[in-house]
Amino acid sequence: MLKIALLVLTTMQDGSVRVTLSATDDMVECEANRDAVTTILTGAGRPPILALCGQSDLRLTPFVHGMPESAETNRYRVDLVGETFTVTPLAQDAPCREVREGARRSYCARSGQSVVQ
């Protein structure tokens, strides 16, 4: 079932990409959360690569603030076409190729969030 979610991509200290995906009740709440997160990250000198509200059928455990990068072990591929995104879980040994072709972009990312079954 599709639900509105906030997708945030940030750069970690080691240069890799972190993905967070947080479900919200509606688009208004999502956009408010996006604005708040973007303001906080930008104010800390670490603006997000992307902060986007959209629909997703993937559910992840809640984001935990202050998690060390070493605990960000879950792998995901994030595909974007225009303003639409798909987040796909990856096995630890699965290949991932980043793409930047016009409106189509793919990121290989890590997260401390895991898939909720």
> Which pLDDT tens digit goes with each residue over 12-51?
999 999 999 999 999 999 999 999 999 999 999 999 999 9
Best CA proximity match to 28, nearest among 2, 46, 53: 53
Question: Is 117 inside a domain boundary?
Answer: no
pTM of the entire predicted model:
0.93
> Which pLDDT tens digit goes with each residue over 41-100?
999 999 999 999 999 999 999 998 888 888 889 999 999 998 899 999 999 999 999 998
Our count of domains for the chain comes to 1
Contact yes or no for 11/49 (Cβ under 8 A): yes
Q: What are phi and psi for residue 67, nearest 5 degrees?
A: -70, 135
Quote the pLDDT of residue 53: 98
Question: Is 24 inside a domain boundary?
Answer: yes
Question: Is 116 inside a domain boundary?
Answer: no
Question: Is 88 inside a domain boundary?
Answer: yes
- In which domain, by residue range, is 42 found? 3-111
pLDDT category at 1 given cuts 50, 70, 90 is confident
Question: Is 89 inside a domain boundary?
Answer: yes
